[in-house]
Amino acid sequence: MSLSRAEIVEQLKEIVGPQQVVTDEETLRHSSIDRFRKYADIHGVYTLPLPAAVVKLQSSEQVSRVLAFMHQHGINGVPRTGASATEGGLETTVRDSLVLDGASMNSIVNIDIENMQATAQCGVPLEILENQLRAQGYTTGHSPQSKPLAQMGGLVATRSIGQFSTLYGAIEDMVVGLEAVFPDGTITRIKNVPRRAAGPDIRHVIIGNEGALCYITEVTVKIFKYMPENNLFYGFTLENMKTGFAILREVMVEGYRPSIARLYDAEDGSQHFTHFADGKCVLIFMAEGAKGIAQATGQGIEEIVARFPECKPVETSLIETWFNNLNWGPEKVAAEREQILRTNNMGFTTEVSGDWSAIHAIYNNVIQRIRQTFPHAKDITMLGGHSSHSYINGTNMYFVYDYNVVDCKPEQEIDKYHNPLNAIIVEETLKLGGSMVHHHGIGKHRVQWAKQEHDSAWYIMQGLKNVFDPRGIMNSGTIYPNEK
Ligand SMILES: Cc1cc2nc3c(=O)[nH]c(=O)nc-3n(C[C@H](O)[C@H](O)[C@H](O)COP(=O)(O)OP(=O)(O)OC[C@H]3O[C@@H](n4cnc5c(N)ncnc54)[C@H](O)[C@@H]3O)c2cc1C
């Protein structure tokens, strides 16, 4: 027989101690959502079932005991660390869920310069780890825009990516080993080695699981030498996205690895680079690393861009200024809330990827379909996007859309605007063989396309869920559609 809400809370208090179990209404409301429902949140409207409690976890052993308790009684849990999620991964859609907060597990366990790796608990904010490393002349190389907010567990759980990905890779390229706890309470540790061929790479069962398979408690990542004195910046304006994609492709195919390689369309470019975009697309690069490498990379980029006469260089200090103000901390989140309340105008993003032969068509088809078919297109105040992470075989497209919220209650906003716009972007991407999600995770609002995204490989995805979370207690409705 299932436990009542009061029984869940009582038994949890016995497991972790009463101080660690938070049940005040205000905390529970804010813990029932993430930034996908930021409009409703700003207006104080919460429509999802409130969790029974937020559990402040202190150790892997506690995580193990709590998961085993949930597993035994069929209680749904939503793992959380930095709470910067944007795709509904933190929404509590099941009654009497528990929010499993790992933010207090925040020790940097080891910085191992000899072996160029750092180990941190799941609740260590990336910015804290990065600052400690930089003080010693090293870097994680990971720099998502949410660096001041996000923590190591969530960064790994979402397969996050940072602004310097073209050089350092995304989080999956950085993770050496990890510790995680599975729903039956098993604590498992994947050891730190440079490489091995001992069967499939099981790190990938954990990286990107979005809390739907296991709880990440500790992470070891690679570190790199930090040499900002060698950074070189480049910026260009150009007429069209097609040329921009062609340049990005050339840079990647010729083997250059700038840390930043970004292409903005005219609308997005005007938003970010008001001081010089002049209604044009914008292409920017940063070269970094050891001096010789940074200079050779910069020279290579200049040579490639020179083959495209429509590109006009801009003063490099303009790019550096933009770069230094890119990240989002709590103050920008607060300012955004205030602005949305004042203007009723808000913005969202949807990030996808495609190979070189598809990406321009994905970009065009999405923009045209939104402009021509979205019933509330007149409320859109900005529609565009950028490519920010390139690979030898393709790139991503990060669509950005702002709109005025007109004639709808706060709780209706996502269905009137955000979800239909998301749907167009996902559908157009899947049609051309791309991936519907490049780096924010599937969350709960792209989950209806998860099977289509994976197609016949869904067999493997489903197998993981069946084996590791047979009772379906881990973040129900995230990655795996809720069949009930
Ligand atoms: C302003 C802004 C900018 C952003 N920029 C970027 C960017 O540049 N690149 C990028 O990749 N993302 C970006 N994001 C998205 C977000 O920051 C990332 O997804 C980040 O990795 C989430 O980390 P977090 O600690 O905040 O996780 P949370 O928000 O707490 O959780 C995210 C997801 O991971 C799960 N989870 C959290 N902790 C654990 C754990 N310990 N074990 C298992 N599952 C867990 C949660 O259940 C949830 O599904 C941005 C978000 C914002 C608000």
Per-residue pLDDT 10s for the chain (484 aa) are 689 999 999 999 999 999 999 999 999 999 999 999 999 999 999 999 999 999 999 999 999 999 999 999 999 999 999 999 999 999 999 999 999 999 999 999 999 999 999 999 999 999 999 999 999 999 999 999 999 999 999 999 999 999 999 999 999 999 999 999 999 999 999 999 999 999 999 999 999 999 999 999 999 999 999 999 999 999 999 999 999 999 999 999 999 999 999 999 999 999 888 888 889 999 999 999 999 999 999 999 999 999 999 999 999 888 888 888 888 889 999 999 999 999 999 999 999 999 999 999 999 999 999 999 999 999 999 999 999 999 999 999 999 999 999 999 999 999 999 999 999 999 999 999 999 999 999 999 999 999 999 999 999 999 999 999 999 999 999 999 997 5
The set of residues, in sequence order, having a beta carbon less than 8 Å from that of 297 and lying 6+ positions away, is 232, 256, 257, 258, 287, 289
164 Cβ contact partners less than 8 Å away, ≥ 6 residues apart: 141, 142, 143, 259, 260, 286, 288
In which residue are the tokens 């600052």 written? 131
**Burial code of 439-448, b = ≥16 C-beta within 10 A, e = fewer?**
bbbbbbbbbe
Q: How many CB atoms lie within 10 A of CB 409?
A: 13
Residue nearest to atom 8 of ligand 1 (CA): 144
d(CA 176, CA 192): 5
Say how many Å lie between the CA of residue 479 and the centre of ligand 1.
Answer: 14
- 3-state helix/strand/coil string of the chain: CCCCHHHHHHHHHHHHCHHHEECCHHHHHHCCCCHHHHHHHHCCCCCCCCCCEEEECCCHHHHHHHHHHHHHHCCCEEEECCCCCCCCCCCCCCCCCEEEECCCCCCEEEEECCCCEEEEECCCEHHHHHHHHHHCCEECCCCCCCCCCCEHHHHHHCCCCCCCHHHHCCHHHHEEEEEEECCCCCEEEECCCCCCCCCCCCHHHHCCCCCCCCEEEEEEEECEECCHHHCEEEEEEECCHHHHHHHHHHHHHCCCCCCEEEEECHHHHHHHCCCCCCCCEEEEEEECCCHHHHHHHHHHHHHHHHCCCCCEECCHHHHHHHHCCCCCCHHHHHHHHHHHHHHCEEEEEEEEEEEHHHHHHHHHHHHHHHHHHCCCHHHEEEEEEEECCEECCEEEEEEEEEEECCCCCHHHHHHHHHHHHHHHHHHHHHHCCCECCCCCCCCCCCHHHHHHHHHHHHHHHHHHHHHHCCCCCECCCCCCCCCC
Give the pLDDT confidence score for residue 143 in this predicted structure: 96
Q: How far is the CA of 351 from the centre of ligand 1 (A)?
A: 14
Q: Which residues contact 18 (CB under 8 A, 6 or more apart)?
A: none
Q: Best of 56, 145, 468 to mutate for ligand 1, by most ligand atoms within 8 A of CB?
A: 145
Q: pTM (2 decimals)?
A: 0.97
The pick from 81, 101, 476 for probing ligand 1's pocket by mutation, whose C-beta has the most ligand atoms within 8 angstroms, reads 81
What ipTM does this complex have? 0.99
Please give the domain boundaries of the chain with CATH numbers for all domains. 5-103 (3.30.43.10), 108-225 (3.30.465.10), 228-323 (3.30.70.3450), 330-456 (3.30.300.330)
The response to whether residue 86 sits with its C-beta less than 6 Å from ligand 1 reads: yes
Ligand 1 centre distance from Cα of residue 154 (Å)? 5
Pairing relationship of beta strands 215-222 and 175-181 according to DSSP bridges: antiparallel
* Ligand 1 pocket member 77 (CB < 6 A): no
Q: Which residues does 78 contact at the CB level (< 8 Å), separation at least 6?
A: 51, 89, 90, 91, 92, 97, 98, 99, 100, 211, 475
**Sheet with strand 175-181: strands edge to edge:** 108-112, 117-121, 215-222, 175-181, 187-190
**pLDDT computed for residue 412 by the predictor:** 96
Cβ of 79 closer than 6 Å to ligand 1, yes or no, is yes
Rounded to 10 deg, the angle between the 241-253 and 356-373 helix axes is: 160
In 3D space, the residue among 170, 202, 253 whose CA is nearest the CA of residue 439 turns out to be 170
Q: Which two tokens stand for residue 221?
A: 């990542």
Confidence (pLDDT) at 484: 59
Give yes or no for a contact between 242 and 149, defined as CB atoms under 8 angstroms apart: no
Annotated binding-site residue numbers: 210-216, 337
Task: List, by residue number, the catalytic residues.
Answer: 398
Q: Which of 31, 35, 80, 445 to mutate to test the pocket of ligand 1 (most atoms within 8 A of CB)?
A: 80
Q: What pLDDT, on the 0 to 100 scale, is given for residue 284?
A: 96
Tokens representing 121 are 């608990």
Q: Which residue has the tokens 């088809």?
A: 365
Of 472, 460, 476, which is closest to residue 205 (Cα–Cα)?
Answer: 460
Q: Which atom of ligand 1 is nearest to the CA of 78?
A: 47
Ligand 1 centroid to Cα of residue 158, in Å, is 6
